[in-house]
Amino acid sequence: MELVLKNVSREFQDFTAVDDINFTMKNGIYGLLGVNGAGKTTLMRMICTLLKPTKGHIYLNGKEILEMGAEYRQILGYLPQEFGYYPEFSVRDYLMYIASIKGLDRFAASKKADRLLMQVGLGNVQKKKMKKLSGGMKRRAGIAQAMLNDPKILILDEPTAGLDPNERVRFRNLISELAGSRMVLLSTHIVSDVEYIANEIMLMKDGCFVQTGSMAQISASVPVKAWNTAVQKKEAQRFLKNYMVSNVRQLPDKVELRILSEQKPHIDAVCTELTLEDIFLYYFGEKGGESDVLL
């Protein structure tokens, strides 16, 4: 299975959300990383046939997905960023309804819903109304609905947004477990989500992919190294001003800095392996940093 994005662009009036993207995806987990407003959601919506590209085409195994229509949607599972549900439906009713619009017959839907409810840990709340579920439970119901038709292509838009750290780890593991032999496209602005589970990473900025590849490939493409050093408090300001600093940690009498630099920034600096978080900072600057998302 091969999903090819060919010169894909999407414009909204005077604003280009996705700008001439070319990319090929096969089975595996793809992490789409970018700051808010980078165009991730628009790109995913085009892949889900919810939006038409203003330029370019998306092909699945050589066929245009918009022309494939229902045939394409049959193998698609989608968890949107803002996951909407029917508040008065019970969790089970919700899944049964989504199963029906996914074309599953009642018997198969019931069996599948039972299995997924257990898998996502919602078996004991299946009769609860959707509106009564916690944020994490709703997200799990969201992933369950996306999996109902056993999709070959699974699109997850910011699946861990708003979840607490425990829920996020649990959710990440669940995605890994469900991935199997599918093509999973996982969009996030939370670095750790993709760092652990993605086979390939796409860094998206202003509607374009600024870098794509495996963690090692992306790491190799960055012309800086990561340096750890402890400096006097009065010196710290100078480093913060002159270098890209990916982390600052207060010690009793010093400040420990993680500096991204081509050259050794300080005599005591120790070179360490680049993390995805460092790379994210390198490409997106401080705009990309979110203190609550560093696991």
Partner 1 sequence: MFYYELKKILSRKSGRTVIFLICALLVFVCYFAIQNPEAVYFDENGREEHGYRAMQNLKAQRHEWAGGLSTDMLAKVIAENARINNEAKEKGLSEEDVWVRIRAFDDIRTMINRAFCKFREYDYYKIDSLSPDAASEFYERRITNLTEWLDSNEAQILSDEEKAFLTKRYMELETPLEYDYMTGWEVHAVYMPTVTMIVLLIISFPVAGIFAGEKQLKADAVFFSSYNGRGRAVLAKLMAGIVFVTAAYWVTVIVYSAVVLGVLGADGAGLMVQIDVWKSFYNITFFERFLLMVFGGYVGCLSIALIEMLVSAKTKSAVISVAVPFILIFLPTFISEFVSRLEYGNKILGLLPDQLFLISQVLSQFNLYKIGSGMTGAVEVLFTIYTIISLALVPIIYAVYRRSEVQ
Which residue, 35 or 48, is less far from partner 1 as judged by CB? 48
CB of 232 to partner 1, least distance (A): 51
Which residue, 134 or 250, is less far from partner 1 as judged by CB? 134
> Of 18, 14, 27, 84, which Cα lies nearest the Cα of 47?
18
- Is residue 49 at the binding interface for partner 1, with CB under 8 A as the rule? yes
- Is residue 273 at the binding interface for partner 1, with CB under 8 A as the rule? no
CB of 109 to partner 1, least distance (A): 11
Order of strands, sheet of 244-250, starting from the edge strand that comes earlier in the sequence: 244-250, 254-261, 225-232, 270-272
Q: 3-class DSSP state for residue 87?
A: coil
- Is residue 135 at the binding interface for partner 1, with CB under 8 A as the rule? no
Selected binder of partner 1 within 1, 2, 7, 12 (CB under 8 A): 12
The DSSP call for residue 143 is H
Helices (H) and strands (E) in the chain, counts: 11, 14
Which residue, 71 or 268, is less far from partner 1 as judged by CB? 71
Largest CA distance in the chain: 69
Q: Pairing between strand 28-34 and 200-205?
A: parallel
**CA 9/CA 42 separation, integer angstroms:** 10
**CA 200/CA 193 separation, integer angstroms:** 12
- Is residue 164 at the binding interface for partner 1, with CB under 8 A as the rule? no
CB of 143 to partner 1, least distance (A): 12
- Is residue 76 at the binding interface for partner 1, with CB under 8 A as the rule? yes
Token pair 């229902």: residue:
70
Which residue, 74 or 242, is less far from partner 1 as judged by CB? 74
Vertex 64: Cα angle to 62 and 68 (nearest 5): 110
Q: Binding pattern to partner 1, positions 79-108, x when CB under 8 A?
A: xx-xxxxxxxx---x--xxx-xxxx-----
**CA 67/CA 64 separation, integer angstroms:** 5
Which residue, 9 or 229, is less far from partner 1 as judged by CB? 9
Which residue, 86 or 290, is less far from partner 1 as judged by CB? 86
Q: Binding residues for partner 1, per CB under 8 A?
A: 12, 45, 48-52, 69-70, 73-74, 76, 78-80, 82-89, 93, 96-98, 100-103, 145-146, 149
